[in-house]
């Protein structure tokens, strides 16, 4: 029997899988492993997954570690920061994910502090605990993604605090009688400005961007950038291109109303009731990995089969998927979920190889050109190697009625009751 799993008297192979991160990639790996535990094809399989009678059953004991106490739909963050009722749906606490309430699934509210390749152990710091735990594993999945700053995503770790955080933000935006200025014309800034205007039509929303075109750092076509600008203006958002933020400061008012003076490098000035800076460099959340596993920016060096490039032992025991990977293409939730599925497939195939000499069929990532689906109010723009399309039909195709929230639940198969 292999060193990566143990065999019970009934012939069942048990493998312990520790997953760091419970967003798209981490949960995708978990739910597909659960299907394989049930001797079913992975729910995200792109091709048939024929089980053979000679294969032993593999029981996966899954531990998922995340600093949040629930699954947050990051794609919907711009709308969660503009609409309270949506914010309440966008964060689902782990005990309310029906398909993951199983004896062989455990959630840990905390963070992974260190991973030891050689001993296959991880130091885990639970929220509220004084001393760390050391958890052993047979396979490790790094799915912690990027560390995104406020207001790109909420910073709270518990749902109750998150609702208070976004609630205060929504209150301030709604009461901004002098309007809201969103700084940064990347994907986050465009979506945030559009959702604010959609949910708060009485508020004047201005998007200020330093360059002469939106989405200037995304590697997308001029057609896509022009479509985003057109739809943003059609949504009622004022767009100020060539406006690089210099500084902004709060101004005293007689009635205590929140007000800011915003200055730009080109000499322009404007007043605002709220300034939202949507310009920040997201940093990979990978400090727990050995230095040789990441590049200079902290992105995890993976092979096409999502195995982390390793200088140490247990090479096929460590995987990474999602935004933290060093891979081509724009980071997207669909790509993260596909990566999680591939990892589940490859772990199962590797166990079968070592248990019964099965010839493994590993799933591999391919090179991706820049592609995006961007929600802009009631419309959306999509762009990729096949060209650009824009309009309400694009919104329906990629985002549905709720920025892909219920679609994500269905694709992951979390069993959440839709409202």
Q: How confident is the model at residue 218 (pLDDT cuts 50, 70, 90)?
A: confident
How much is the average pLDDT of 279-287? Answer: 91
Residue-wise pLDDT for 373-409, tens only, equals 999 999 999 999 999 999 999 999 999 999 999 999 9
Tell me the pTM: 0.95
Q: Which residues contact 299 (CB under 8 A, 6 or more apart)?
A: 284, 286, 324, 325, 326
Tally the residues of the chain: 419
- Please state, in angstroms and rounded to a whole number, the distance separating the CA atoms of residues 381 and 403: 13
Would you state the pLDDT for residue 301? 97
How much is the average pLDDT of 214-234? Answer: 94
How much is the average pLDDT of 288-299? Answer: 96
Residue-wise pLDDT for 170-184, tens only, equals 999 999 999 999 999
Does position 346 have pLDDT exceeding 80, yes or no? yes
- Percent of the chain topping pLDDT 90: 89
Residue bearing the bigger pLDDT, 11 or 383: 383
- Please state, in angstroms and rounded to a whole number, the distance separating the CA atoms of residues 89 and 84: 9
Does position 419 have pLDDT exceeding 70, yes or no? no
Would you state the pLDDT for residue 7? 55
Q: Determine the 3-state secondary structure of 12 from DSSP.
A: coil
DSSP 98-137: GGG-STTEEEEEEEEEEEETTTTEEEEEETT-SS-EEEE-
Q: How confident is the model at residue 5 (pLDDT cuts 50, 70, 90)?
A: low
Would you state the pLDDT for residue 6? 61
Would you state the pLDDT for residue 52? 86
């Amino acid at each position: 029997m292999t060193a990566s799993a143990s065999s019970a008297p009934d012939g069942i192979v048990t493998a312990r899988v520790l997953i760091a991160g419970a967003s798209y990639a981490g949960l995708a790996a978990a739910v597909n492993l659960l299907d394989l535990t049930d001797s079913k094809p992975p729910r995200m399989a792109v091709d048939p997954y024929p089980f053979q009678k000679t294969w032993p059953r593999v029981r996966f004991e899954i531990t998922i570690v995340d600093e949040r106490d629930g699954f947050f739909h990051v794609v919907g963050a711009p709308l969660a920061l503009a609409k309270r009722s949506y914010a309440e749906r966008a964060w689902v606490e782990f005990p309310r994910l029906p398909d993951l309430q199983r004896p062989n699934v455990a959630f840990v509210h905390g963070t992974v502090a260190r991973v030891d390749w050689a001993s296959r152990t991880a130091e885990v710091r639970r929220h509220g605990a004084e001393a760390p735990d050391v958890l052993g594993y047979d396979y490790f999945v790094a799915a912690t993604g990027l560390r995104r700053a406020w207001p790109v995503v909420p910073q709270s770790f518990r749902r109750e605090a998150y609702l208070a955080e976004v609630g205060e933000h929504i209150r301030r935006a709604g009461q901004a009688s002098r309007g809201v200025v969103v700084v940064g014309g990347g994907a986050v800034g465009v979506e945030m400005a559009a959702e604010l205007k959609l949910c708060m039509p009485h508020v004047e929303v201005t998007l200020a961007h330093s360059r002469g075109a939106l989405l200037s750092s995304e590697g997308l076509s001029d057609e896509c950038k022009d479509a985003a600008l057109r739809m943003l203006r059609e949504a009622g958002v004022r767009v100020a291109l060539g406006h690089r933020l210099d500084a902004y400061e709060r101004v005293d008012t007689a009635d205590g109303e929140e007000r800011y003076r915003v200055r730009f490098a080109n000499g322009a000035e404007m007043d605002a009731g709220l300034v939202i800076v949507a310009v920040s460099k997201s940093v990979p959340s990978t400090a727990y990995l050995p230095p040789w596993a990441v590049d200079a920016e902290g992105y995890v060096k993976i092979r096409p089969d999502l195995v982390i490039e390793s200088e140490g032992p247990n090479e096929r025991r460590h995987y990474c998927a999602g935004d933290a990977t060093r891979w081509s293409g724009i980071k997207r939730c669909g790509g993260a979920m596909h990566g999680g599925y591939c990892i589940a497939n490859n772990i199962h195939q590797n166990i079968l190889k070592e248990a019964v000499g099965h010839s493994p069929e590993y799933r591999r990532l391919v090179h991706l050109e820049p592609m995006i689906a961007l929600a802009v109010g009631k419309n959306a723009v999509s762009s990729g190697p096949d060209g650009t399309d824009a309009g309400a039909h694009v919104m329906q195709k990629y985002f549905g009625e709720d920025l892909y929230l219920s679609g994500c639940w269905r694709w992951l198969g979390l069993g959440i009751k839709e409202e």
